[in-house]
DNA sequence: ATATAATATATGATTAATCATATATAAGGA
DNA sequence: TCCTTATATATGATTAATCATATATTATAT
């Protein structure tokens, strides 16, 4: 479902091919909704079947023909209905937390290494996030209005705040392990 | 993959049936790894096929026979290898952030309602999390050691910190909308 | 000269997860 | 009495997502 709406969201800005959309995803929302090329193409086919989008075939000579997708009125209405509707559920799953839950099986040294590993990953992601504003470049031309830009920055702010909270959590655990505050069996 | 290790983690504490495991999941890790009954049964079958677990059939008279699963040495080794190994990737996907990304299509009033909806959901989840320690009851008998209890509380702390950071983010957005700081097109 | 990246779309296979439903019996509540 | 809940396991169908691979041409880099 979500991918359909993400694609409709971009088609609402401008008509695009599947190839365009893959690049746009990879330079914008991939941080909270990565999309596989094959899945984008299959979803475009489904959106067309539902008459939320229409295909315009653009023949090319030396390149494969392009299939440019245009959002329909039906599609636009569907998008706005979803946007104004109730909040979709956030994905609750976290594989790292399964490791934490059962980490009592490890020695204190292993626990320390594990959480230092978590912290390293989180710092790497945070520094990636901090570089995002500098990478808007090519995408900025697609999203023209300052209003759209504002909401794009909000998603980034969300990521940064979440990751900071997670990093603080991990650092707090590391301090506890080092202080010998982890109970033994 | 993750579900396999979660099940191995519990079988490492004690032998259980699929039915037991479903109840244990629902009173413990369902907040970060919900599991469907049918998926638990199918995964137990797979774990048995991989010789990470063994079945003990316990006939009953007035109830259906129980299939009690025991972790094997192979299974225990596999679990510990995974626990000590590299951090698994966190799930990046967030459907709510797709709504935020395209929220510029809504009016300021709709945006305000949307974020108040987010905040309400987050507050509800937070208050659920705050009630978790009181609900340990039945599960506490399964996890005996204070060490295991400590790590269980760490997963809860992670959830609370994340959710608080998210709520602060939403409240910050609400304040910005109310202050008329959202750019128009 | 050779390899790989870019342009462009498409399908097959597989996995993880969800939803629905089936079977069978007993206990407890309305 | 009738309905629901609890005990216990199992399968079929479907969806979302991933991975691999196929096709075909041009431009660029080694």
Q: Answer whether A77 touches B (CB < 8 Å).
A: no
Whole-Å CA distances, A172 to A113, A115, A130, B15, B153: 14, 10, 23, 34, 13
User: Which of A6, A97, A118, A150 is the mutation pick for testing B, counting most B CBs within 10 A?
Assistant: A97
Beta bridge partners of A71: A53
Contact residues for B100 (Cβ-Cβ < 8 A; gap 6+): A151, A154, A155, A158
Residue with tokens 């060490």: B147
Contact B182 A147 (CB under 8 A): yes
Residue B126 CA to residue B169 CA, distance in Å, equals 14
> Nearest C-alpha of chain B: how many angstroms from A128?
14
Helix axis angle for A73-84 and A2-13, nearest 10°, is: 120
Structure tokens at B101: 């990304």
Q: Which residues of B111-121 are buried (b: 16+ CB within 10 A; e: fewer)?
A: bbebbebbbeb
ipTM given for this complex: 0.94
Which listed CATH number (1.20.140.10, 1.10.10.10, 3.40.50.720, 3.40.720.10) goes with A2-84?
1.10.10.10
Distance B61 CA to C25 C1' (A): 10
Lowest-confidence pick of A44-48, B2-6, B128-132, B169-173:
B128-132
Mean pLDDT of the region B154-183: 97
Query: Would you call A117 and B86 a contact, using CB atoms and an 8 Å cutoff?
Result: yes
pLDDT digits (tens, 9 = 90+) for B86-145: 999 999 999 999 999 999 999 999 999 999 999 999 999 999 999 888 776 656 666 668
Determine the Cα–Cα distance for residues B159 and B181; give it in Å rounded to an integer.
30
Expressed in angstroms, the distance from the first to the final Cα of chain A is 45
Indicate if the pLDDT at residue A60 is higher than 90.
no
Q: How do the domains of chain B map onto residue ranges?
A: 2-84, 95-178
pLDDT exceeds cutoff 90 at A132: no
Task: Tell me how far apart the alpha carbons of residues B78 and B106 are, in angstroms, rounded to a whole number.
Answer: 50
Widest distance between CA atoms in chain B = 71
Q: Taking residues A106-114, what's their average pLDDT?
A: 98
What is the number of alpha carbons within 13 Å of residue A119 lying toward its C-beta?
Answer: 14
**CA/C1' separation B38–C25 (Å):** 21
Question: Does the CB of A155 have a partner CB in chain B at under 8 Å?
Answer: yes
Among B147, B102, B128, B72, CA closest to A142 = B102
A65 Cβ contacts chain C strand, under 7 Å? yes
Tell me which DSSP letter residue B65 carries: P
Q: DSSP E strands: which ranges in A11-152?
A: 53-58, 66-71
Whole-number distance in Å between B64 CA and D3 C1': 22
């Amino acid at each position: 479902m979500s991918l359909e709406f993400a694609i409709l969201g971009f088609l609402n800005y401008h008509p695009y091919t599947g190839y365009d959309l893959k690049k746009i995803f990879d330079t914008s929302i991939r941080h909270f909704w990565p999309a596989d090329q094959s899945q984008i193409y299959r979803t475009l086919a489904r959106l067309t079947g539902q008459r939320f989008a229409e295909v315009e075939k653009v023949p090319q000579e030396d390149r494969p023909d392009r299939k440019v997708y245009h959002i329909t009125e039906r599609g636009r209405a569907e998008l706005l209905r979803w946007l104004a509707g109730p909040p979709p559920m956030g994905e609750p799953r976290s594989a790292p937390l399964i490791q934490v839950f059962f980490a009592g099986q490890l020695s204190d040294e292993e626990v320390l290494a594990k959480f230092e590993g978590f912290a390293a990953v989180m710092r790497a992601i945070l520094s990636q996030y901090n570089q995002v504003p500098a990478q808007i470049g090519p995408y900025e031309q697609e999203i023209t209005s300052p209003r759209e830009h504002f909401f794009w920055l909000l998603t980034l702010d969300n990521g940064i705040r979440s990751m900071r909270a997670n990093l603080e959590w991990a650092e707090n655990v590391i301090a506890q392990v080092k202080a010998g505050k982890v109970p033994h069996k």
